[in-house]
Amino acid sequence: MRMNNKFGVFLGVAALALFGAGVARADDQLDAETKARIDRYEKGPATIDVSKYPQAIQDNYETFSQKCAQCHKLSRPVNCDYVLPDEWSRYVKRMMHKPGSGIDSADGKKIYEFLTYDSSVRKKAMLDDKLAKLSPADKAAAEAKIKEVHDKYDNK
Amino acid sequence: MSDELKSNTSPQPDAGPAAARSTVPIWIIVLTLLLLFLGAVYFDHHSGWFDKQVYAPYTSAGQLASYQPKSGAAAAQARGRTAYEAACGICHGSDGLGKPGQAPPLTGSEWVAKDVASLARIPLAGLNGPIQVAGKDWNLSMAPMGAGMSDSDLAAVLTYIRESWGNKYGAVSADEVKAVRAAINGNAPSAADLARMTPVERGHAVFQKFGCAQCHGPDAKGGVPNPNAKTAEQVPSLIYVADGYTKDELIAFIKRGERDIPRMNPAGPEPPHFMPQWGPIITDAELDDLAAYLLSLKPRGENLGF
């Protein structure tokens, strides 16, 4: 019984200490959550199996691989949770407008189309989930943009 | 035979002393584990992980501030030092010696020794282009790091600079800073003007007030050199932010800043310019207007087709 008491005290102190450490970590860095997210994405695979995609999309995948790997790991965009056409459009443009990106608007469009196409196939579940949360108008607009890319590349 | 059997099955009566199962009291084991655990927690709390700040003598600015005297001349000196370390020390150094390619020294600088008005103008309006300091030529650009400080805070910083590292040029008062600020802001819009302006116009005033143009160029078209920055060794243009950011994303980025600029040559020197953390300096209303201005910069009629 005496030992049980001591063990109880030990557990109590340990729990308090763990809690304290957790609080100390939480205010470490504002951006820790974002960093953790990026780390998680970068640990995933860095390549996509595009063998079943149309040939032109496979060509765009080449452009994506070459251009994007200049500045960051490919596993980051491959595994991240961006799936909507607007998300890809915004992030591709953000990167391509950086001075010295070496991505012209034709390359940017290829990369956008590849990522939108790929998201609608490989990340379909995540895409449907995000589409369901949009307003009807936004959802229709996003679906139209996805359809536009598929119409351009499928069965060609 | 019977003796042999006996000796095999029962212990020798004259066997030597043997260790008992438990000689160490259980509470010592518990205490040791507890101390080890607390030690680990301590290291976790104080190690700073892989943050380069780990070598700073204090764990946070708050802790540093708590050590400072609360009143009198010593308090003013301490306040100046705290603000200096936060706003100026990164480039000019805690020792005021400056850093090659980043910022000229403040020790033995004729600009620090000059009249208060000339000195105060530098943090209030920023400084861009060639300048000679202590016999050496510099050609850099500094954002108006003091534009967002109160008169008394900036006076404390300037006093600290003028009275540290062997400098002995006397204190600077808040009134002197106030006068210089008024002279610089002579043609800045009044409160009544601001109320009449559109958000985009107000945002342009914010852009000028905080000296964004010092690095991003007068029309936000960029091009100010930033040696060894991965962005083609220049500070980026802002005219296409409407393509790449939602308003919320843009405001969040300005607030957060970007301390570590990716390097063109990873083994090369740190690029001298970085995006300051504006969150504590620009008000939310100003940020809202600033974002409206920046999002309005995209050249009309340009369409990337996606």
- Residue B165 backbone zone (phi > 0: left; psi -120 to 50: alpha; other: beta): left
* Best CA proximity match to B283, nearest among B202, B222, B220: B202
| Cα–Cα dist A9/A31, whole Å | 36
Residue B68 to residue B79: CA distance in whole angstroms: 8
The Cα-based distances of B126 to B89, B121, B123, B144 in angstroms read 16, 7, 5, 4
Identify the pLDDT of residue A28.
38
Place of tokens 């980025």: B253
Find out whether B249 and B273 touch, Cβ atoms under 8 Å. no
Environment class of residue B90 by beta-carbon count within 10 Å: exposed (0-12), middle (13-18) or buried (19+)? Answer: middle
Cβ-based interface (< 8 Å): residues of A facing B:
3, 6-7, 10, 13-14, 17-18, 20-21, 24-25, 28-31, 71, 89-95, 97-100, 105, 108-109, 112-113
Q: CA A124, CA A83: separation in Å to the nearest integer?
A: 8
Burial class of residue A93 (count of CB atoms within 10 Å of its CB; 0-12, 13-18, 19+): buried
pTM, 2 dp: 0.64
Strand-pair category, B127-133 with B136-142: antiparallel
Q: Which amino acid is at A147?
A: K
To probe the interface with A, which of B29, B263, B304 has the most A CB atoms within 10 Å? B304
**Distance (Å, rounded) from C-alpha A104 to C-alpha A92?**
11
DSSP, collapsed to helix, strand or coil, labels residue A123 as coil
Tokens of A60: 């765009």
Other C-beta atoms closer than 10 Å to the C-beta of B295 total: 19
Give the pLDDT score at B254: 94
CB–CB of B304 and A18 under 8 A? no
Please give the angle made by the CA atoms of B90, B133 and B170, to the nearest 5 degrees.
Answer: 75
Ranges of residues in chain A with a pLDDT under 70 are 1-30, 156
Bridge partner residues of B137 (DSSP): B132
The per-residue pLDDT for B51 is 61
First and final CA of chain A: distance in angstroms? 78
Residue B244: list chain A partners with CB under 8 A.
90-91, 93-95, 97
pLDDT tens-digit profile, chain B (306 residues): 445 444 455 555 666 777 666 678 889 999 999 999 999 988 887 766 666 555 567 777 777 777 766 667 777 788 888 889 888 888 898 899 988 878 899 998 889 988 888 899 888 888 878 888 988 888 887 878 888 788 888 999 999 999 889 888 888 888 888 888 888 877 678 888 888 999 999 999 899 888 888 788 878 988 778 889 999 999 999 999 999 999 999 999 999 888 888 999 999 888 878 888 888 888 999 999 999 999 999 988 888 888
Residue A91: φ, ψ to 5°: -70, -40
**DSSP code of residue A100:** T
Rounded CA separation A25/B43 (Å): 12
Q: Side-chain half-sphere of B20: how many Cα atoms within 13 Å? A: 4
Q: Name which of A6, A17, A113 is nearest B38 (Cβ-Cβ).
A: A17
B44 to chain A: which residues are within 8 Å by CB? 21, 24-25
Give the pLDDT of residue A114. Answer: 96
Record: contact A108-B230, CB cut-off 8 A: no
SS (H, E, C) chain B: CHHHHHHHHCCCCCCCCCCCCCCCCHHHHHHHHHHHHHHHHHHHHHHCCCCHHHHCCCCCHHHHHHCCCCCHHHHHHHHHHHHHHHHCHHHHCCCCCCECCCECCCCCCHHHHCCHHHHHHHHHHCEEEEEEECCEEEEEEECCCCCCCCHHHHHHHHHHHHCCCCCCCCCCCHHHHHHHHHHHHHHCCCHHHHHHCCHHHHHHHHHHHCCCHHHHCCCCCCCCECCCECCCCECCCCCCHHHHCCHHHHHHHHHHCECCCCECCCCCCCCCCCECCCCCCCCHHHHHHHHHHHHCCCCCCCCCCC
Residues A90, B306: C-beta atoms closer than 8 Å = no
pLDDT at A11: 60
* Cα separation, A48 vs A123, whole angstroms: 12
| Closest CA relative to residue B161, chosen from B231, B234, B95, B236 | B95
Residue A100's nearest CA partner among B121, B264, B58 is B264
| Per-residue confidence (pLDDT) for residue B2, from 0 to 100 | 47
Instruction: Identify the CA nearest to B86 among candidates B30, B154, B26, B138.
Output: B154
Half-sphere exposure of A40 (CA within 13 A, CB side): 8
Give me the residues paired with residue B128 across strands. B141
Q: Quick one: angle between helices B199-209 and B284-295, nearest 10?
A: 110
